[in-house]
Amino acid sequence: MLMGTIVSIEMVVGSSGVANGIMDKVWAEAERLERVFSRYLPESEISLINREAFYRPVPVSDEMMNVLSRAADISRLTDGAFDISVGPLMKIWGFFPEREGRIPSEAELAACLARVGWQAIELNQSERTVHFLKPGLEIDLGALAKGYVVDRLTALLIEEGIENAIVNAGGDIYCLGEYPGGRNWRIGLEHPRDEDEILTVLELKNRAVATSGDYRNYFIRSRLRYSHIIDPETGRPSQSKVVEVSVMAPDCLTADGLATAMFVMGADKGINLLKKIDDVDGVIVTEEAGEIKLYFSDN
Ligand code: AMP
Ligand code: MG
């Protein structure tokens, strides 16, 4: 268990002794990453930034700078549908720190929206500092940190000489090399409303896939579903009719971030954007009037 999700790794190696040695290094790295990125740990780098960055520019690690810059890139690319400053909104809708869904009042929502906006996160590359230009701003990296962890753990496996493996952090996956027997790794996409059913199968080799959905972290009030992906424009759980998105990319951070963004953008805009980005593909699943529909990008 890491950052609230199950992380699993399967690798093809000569002996279980070698595998165990590598696994020890992998878990040490995974625990290190949790101490950097987890909002649940008050001493993590991200928690420190959230406490201090409005009052002064906070010096950050190269790793944090890299992740924050890439988050800003995805915000730019998606016209703000992707926005890591949704932190305060996650709290008023009851998704963080506990999962106890609640509906905020209009006044609460308006006050909270004033604290949100990715452009108010000022990154100074040469000084390597982060400064918040709005009081009460809070960063939440839930939409791409898992993907970054997958990329880091995969890099570590490659350093250790592993050529074939699959790294999975709660559905954010990197497929390294091949499945034993010389075929591509195959990832089944779960049906969003029936976990025993597979919607479609994706084949990957040296490629990442990440999935966002409204069926794991949500609550229901008056028969309406409120999921944990928030439209930063309205401050409310996304109403785009998208119920599941899988994005494939060369690295898992990109796949993870874009999958969350597609959820907010909706099927048409989302597919159009995926078609424009080189080497990125995806499947967007919608539900309208009880009917499940799949939209694919070019490949
Ligand atoms: P994922 O499961 O990768 O789609 O990430 C969902 C998580 O990302 C949520 O639990 C929030 O922590 C965060 N989040 C919610 N809405 C957004 C958004 N519009 N942009 C970026 N992060 C978001
Ligand atoms: Mg994501």
Per-residue pLDDT reduced to its tens digit, 189-240? 999 999 999 999 999 999 999 999 998 899 999 999 999 999 999 999 999 9
**For 14-64, what is each residue's pLDDT tens digit?**
899 999 999 999 999 999 999 999 999 999 999 999 999 999 999 999 999
**For 164-194, what is each residue's pLDDT tens digit?**
999 999 999 999 999 998 999 999 999 999 9
Give the pairing type, strands 121-124 and 7-11.
Answer: unpaired
Mean pLDDT of the chain: 96
CA 134 to each of CA 11, 107, 219, 267: distance values in angstroms, whole numbers, following the listed order: 45, 18, 30, 32
Identify the three-state secondary structure at position 185.
strand
Residue nearest to atom 5 of ligand 1 (CA): 143
Residue nearest to atom 12 of ligand 1 (CA): 142
**For 57-98, what is each residue's pLDDT tens digit?**
999 999 999 999 999 999 999 999 999 999 999 999 999 999
Position 136 pLDDT exceeds 90: yes
Distance CA 89, CA 136 (A): 11
Ligand 1 pocket member 264 (CB < 6 A): yes
**pLDDT given at position 52:** 98
What one-character DSSP code corresponds to residue 277? S
Residue-wise burial string across 152-171, b where 16 or more C-beta atoms lie within 10 A, e elsewhere = bbbebbeebebebbbbbbbb
Q: Using CB atoms within 10 A of its CB, is residue 172 exposed (0-12), middle (13-18) or buried (19+)? A: buried
Residue 10 pLDDT class (50, 70, 90 cuts): very high
Residue 269 pLDDT class (50, 70, 90 cuts): very high
Ligand 1 pocket member 140 (CB < 6 A): yes
CB 153 within 8 A of CB 30: yes
**pLDDT given at position 4:** 81
Determine the average pLDDT of the residues in 99-123: 97
Evaluate if pTM is beyond 0.95: yes
HSE (CB half, 13 Å, CA atoms) of 160? 22
- DSSP symbols for 91-122: HHTT-SSS-------HHHHHHHHTT--GGGEE
CA 76 to each of CA 147, 150, 222, 249: distance values in angstroms, whole numbers, following the listed order: 19, 23, 35, 18
Nearest ligand for residue 39 CA = 1
Q: Where are the alpha helices (DSSP H) in 114-161?
A: 145-159
- Please tell me the distance between residue 260's alpha carbon and the centre of ligand 1 in angstroms: 6
Distance CA 247, CA 284 (A): 8
Distance CA 161, CA 177 (A): 12
Query: Which backbone phi and psi does 73 adopt, to 5 degrees?
Result: -60, -45
Position 268 pLDDT exceeds 90: yes
**For 275-291, what is each residue's pLDDT tens digit?**
999 999 999 999 999 99
- Please tell me the distance between residue 43's alpha carbon and the centre of ligand 1 in angstroms: 22
**pLDDT given at position 2:** 84
**pLDDT given at position 1:** 86
Residue of 39, 138, 151, 230 to test ligand 1 pocket, by largest number of atoms within 8 Å of CB = 230
**pLDDT given at position 218:** 93
Ligand 1 pocket member 131 (CB < 6 A): no
Long-range contacts of 121-125 (CB under 8 A, 24+ apart): 121/68, 121/72, 121/84, 121/85, 122/57, 123/65, 123/68, 123/69, 123/72, 124/57, 125/65, 125/69
Place of tokens 């290094």: 25
Position 299 pLDDT exceeds 90: no
Bond prior to 88 in cis (omega within 30° of 0): no
**pLDDT given at position 258:** 98
Task: Count the Cβ atoms, other than its own, within 10 Å of residue 299.
Answer: 10
CB 15 within 8 A of CB 174: no
What structural domains and CATH numbers belong to the chain? 45-132 (1.10.3980.10), 175-296 (3.10.520.10)
Residue nearest to atom 15 of ligand 1 (CA): 229
Position 298 pLDDT exceeds 90: no
Ligand 1 pocket member 229 (CB < 6 A): yes
